[in-house]
Structure 1
Amino acid sequence: MLTMDDLVSRVRTAVSAIPTGTIATYGDVAELVGCHARQVGRIMAAEGADLPWWRVTNVRGELPAHLLPAARARWDDEGIPFVPDAPGARIASCRADPSAWVARLPREFPTGG
């Protein structure tokens, strides 16, 4: 069983490895580290300010409204397409490729819990 410190460490490592210009969902991160999407969201809210948080969205590519202005600026810098009058990115065209993402993780990273 994972301790909370282990889980936080795994989430932080996984999010740090999401390739520039791509997005992963909370569920994608959860599947990789072995937890639930809501846990990823809570960890990101509490521990993710120094991470590329704009690369982690819900399954529709959306983020909370208060994060959108900063996220859109980051998405624009990285070439992540977003829906102009909607709260999210066009995730279908920029979702992180699992193999490219996993290849960026440390060799000893335990995937899947």
Structure 2
Amino acid sequence: MSLVEDVREAVLTIPAGSVASYGAVGRWIGAGPRQVGRVMGLLDEGVPWWRVVHADGTPATCHGGRARELLIAEGTPMRGTRVDMARARHHREPWAGGVPGR
């Protein structure tokens, strides 16, 4: 699989109301947070891109800055303008057998 496909598949595992940081997604697939960030802007509307946030809970600014409103609509716990990472962080197992498709 390509990096874009790996990021896409990882983001699809994040349930509504939960989030993961760019760094967490990167650890899941064996990439860096900046690589994940670059890919996020390429994802289509069929992928819940808004569920990937900065480590401090700041929502993404790609896709016209709509992340915060989409997070709130899903009931994601917030602390002011940021996601409450202690309550909303999605914990998952790493990919079984390493990076998928690589």
TM-score normalised by length of structure 1: 0.73
Aligned residue number for residue 23 of structure 2: 27
Match status 1:48 vs 2:56? no
Distance in structure 2 (CA, Å) of the matches to 1:108 and 1:41: 24
Q: One-letter code of the match for 1:94?
A: A
Over 3 Å counting, the alpha-carbon distance change for 1:64 and 1:74 in structure 2 is closer
Q: Give RMSD over aligned pairs.
A: 2.4
Q: One-letter code of the match for 1:7?
A: L
Please state how far the C-alpha of 1:109 moved relative to its aligned partner. Answer: 8.2
- Structure richer in strand, relative to its length: 2
| Contact 1:72 1:82 (C-alpha < 8 Å) held by counterparts | no
Out of 91, 96, 99, which is 2:85 matched to? Answer: 91
Please state how far the C-alpha of 1:110 moved relative to its aligned partner. Answer: 3.5
- Long gaps (5+) in structure 1: none
- Aligned length, in residue pairs: 98
Please state how far the C-alpha of 1:95 moved relative to its aligned partner. Answer: 0.2
| Contact 2:18 2:51 (C-alpha < 8 Å) held by counterparts | yes
Percent identity over paired residues: 34
| Contact 2:22 2:36 (C-alpha < 8 Å) held by counterparts | yes
**Which deviations, in whole Å up to 9, do the C-alpha atoms of 1:63-105 show, x marking residues without a partner?**
25562xx222222221102222x3x211111000214xx6xx8
| Contact 2:17 2:76 (C-alpha < 8 Å) held by counterparts | yes
Over 3 Å counting, the alpha-carbon distance change for 1:22 and 1:14 in structure 2 is same
Q: One-letter code of the match for 2:88?
A: C
